[in-house]
Chain A
Amino acid sequence: MLGIDDPWIWGVYVLCILSALLCVIYGIINWNRGGELEALEIKEEAAWEAVEEEMQEKELGL
């Protein structure tokens, strides 16, 4: 197949293309999924920022 006799080699040649296809299909199916937690995490970040600022003020005396 594909000019290669050893099935371990043409097999992996095909496998490489299939696994890249798998990535493409997974990406398309889940293109818009997974963004749900954003709002919660943005709140958490605001809280961190406050702490970080306080820390820098203390340290640098600003």
Chain B
Amino acid sequence: MNLLLLNIIILIYLLATLYLGYRGWKSTKDSEGYLVAGRKTHPYIMAMSYGATFISTSAIVGFGGTAGLFGMGLLWLTFLNIFVGIFLAFIVYGKRTRKMGHNLNAMTFPELLGKRFDSKFVQYFSGIVIFLGMPLYASVVLIGAARFMETTLAIDFDVALLIYSLIIAAYVVWGGLRGVMYTDAMQGTIMFVGMAFLLIVTYAHLGGITSAHQALTGMANLIPEKLAAQGHMGWTSMPIMGSSWWWTLVSTIVMGVGIGVLAMPQLVVRFMTVKSNRELNRGVLIGGVFILMMTGVAFVVGALSNVYFYQTQGNISINIAKGNADSIIPVYINAAMPEWFVYLFMLTLLAAAMSTSSSQFHVQGSAIGRDIYETLTQKKGSGSILVTRIGILVAVLIAVTLGYILPENIIARGTAIFFGLCAAAFLPMYTCALYWRGATSFGAIAGMITGTLVTVFWYMFIHKAEAAPLGICKMLFGRDVLIAQMPWPVVDPIVVALPLAFLVTVAVSLVTKKLSYRHLEDSFRGLR
């Protein structure tokens, strides 16, 4: 591997990133510029930024590796990513969010909810949930990026983690959301090119679409016995319905991440950055194609890596990757792709990680500055931008610290946990905020607290994959989970917490005092 060439390519890329961050900084004068990029973003920048933030190393490396293990059933997640994450998100949620955000002059997701329900509690509680929940997701993205820098640039993992974080902190702290979105759009473009090549080369390698799939179908007998016993039926089949494998695939991976995207604060805020619905209409086109090329390609290629490894090395991917699903994609790229592509793909991954990290830090900073500090102290203006900037630095520090502590095989799971938490805590009240005038402040608060608490409780006491390593249930009750009977230990919290939170939001709204007619008129101005 030509380390000098790779370093030069990455250096050019980083300089371009810093330049765009600088452009963002130069054109940002006030908090509206810093928080919602002045509300006049170009549709290409908005859609690419949404897509590149949505898709991180976690989606490509973490979930792509998971597809190497589970097979093409993960494509159900791609379908939800496109249909729910782009089509419904832009048209059903995005347009109303943009208009209502404009009506209420809201600049963050918690602020939109807080102003809509006329409740400061809603705003700072949401800010706290984001600030405390996001570091897990932020740090798994950091880990993905640093692991890749460690292996390819031949530098120490700890040093890689530090350099990467410093660069991002620099352009997020100074550039605000403009800097973040400009760099996102460039990074998204690189990702698109990289993934397109990956798909074409993989299919070409394996003799075309049908014969590649055929070969994978023919390998069903190679599923390790342990996995077959849990319901795995092959890489081109769904697992046995109701088996533990099926529950993990359907409830945690497909539903948790597929639906959670609707209530991700760093994505919702992007709807508030465009000036009209026209930009969102155009964004749907760009976003739909972009996501298909990201997760669609990652999951197909992840599954097909089994064929490649079996034909060339006589073994399946998870064994080649020594049991760590997070390594399947990197190992496959290094083994199967031409050397120049390995460089391009490294840039793709770095871009994917940076575009997600930057928004995560921005949204955590704004949660502290705008949603917690401003709401509690009533101070507005330049003081809160300073607090936001400090908040971003604190968020980076927490994520880096977690990055050193977290175990292997964590990338996909860490992502799923945060998506699930956001869905349960925010989606019911967010949906009601946009569509139901009858929703009350108490309804919103009750639903949000129910969703948050049920999710946290479920992870600590019911869902085995988290409850067992956390050990809190064991300490209190002497066993790993409260209900050992199948399928409960493998049912994801979202299956219970989301419907329950919806129910509570509606039920409490029906029996509590409605918001004033005038406030509702203001919120829904221009909306039917």
* CB under 8 Å from chain A, chain B span 349-387: 379-383
- Shortest A43–chain B CB gap in Å is 12
B287–A23 touching, CB < 8 Å: yes
Among candidates A3, A13, A42, residue contacting B75 with C-beta atoms closer than 8 Å: A13
List residues of chain B with CB within 8 A of the CB of A19.
Answer: 79, 82-83, 87, 288, 292
A4 at the interface (CB under 8 A from B): yes
Q: A33-B278, A41-B102 are in contact. Are A20 and B210 (CB under 8 A)?
A: no
A50 at the interface (CB under 8 A from B): no
- Stretch in B159-167, B212-220, B447-455 touching the partner: B212-220
Interface of B is mostly: helix
The chain A residue with its CB closest to the CB of B379 is A59
List residues of chain A with CB within 8 A of the CB of B27.
Answer: none
List residues of chain B with CB within 8 A of the CB of A23.
Answer: 82, 86-87, 284-285, 287-289
A15–B79 touching, CB < 8 Å: yes
The chain B residue with its CB closest to the CB of A40 is B526
B236–A45 touching, CB < 8 Å: no
Q: A12-B75, A37-B526 are in contact. Are A20 and B288 (CB under 8 A)?
A: yes
CA distance A15 to B279 in the complex (A): 26
Q: What is the interface size of chain A, counting residues whose CB is below 8 A from a CB of the partner?
A: 41
Among candidates B71, B214, B283, B380, residue contacting A55 with C-beta atoms closer than 8 Å: B380
CA distance A8 to B276 in the complex (A): 39
Measuring CB to CB, which residues of chain B are less than 8 angstroms from any residue of chain A? 30-32, 39, 71-73, 75-76, 78-79, 82-83, 86-87, 91, 95, 99, 102, 105, 209-217, 233, 236-238, 275-289, 291-292, 296, 300, 379-383, 526
CA distance A45 to B101 in the complex (A): 12
CA distance A42 to B211 in the complex (A): 56
Interface of A is mostly: helix
CA distance A56 to B39 in the complex (A): 20
Q: A31-B282, A52-B32 are in contact. Are A37 and B79 (CB under 8 A)?
A: no
A16–B210 touching, CB < 8 Å: no
A24–B72 touching, CB < 8 Å: no
List residues of chain A with CB within 8 A of the CB of B278.
Answer: 30-35
CA distance A37 to B274 in the complex (A): 12
List residues of chain B with CB within 8 A of the CB of A26.
Answer: 87, 91, 281, 284-285
A16–B292 touching, CB < 8 Å: yes
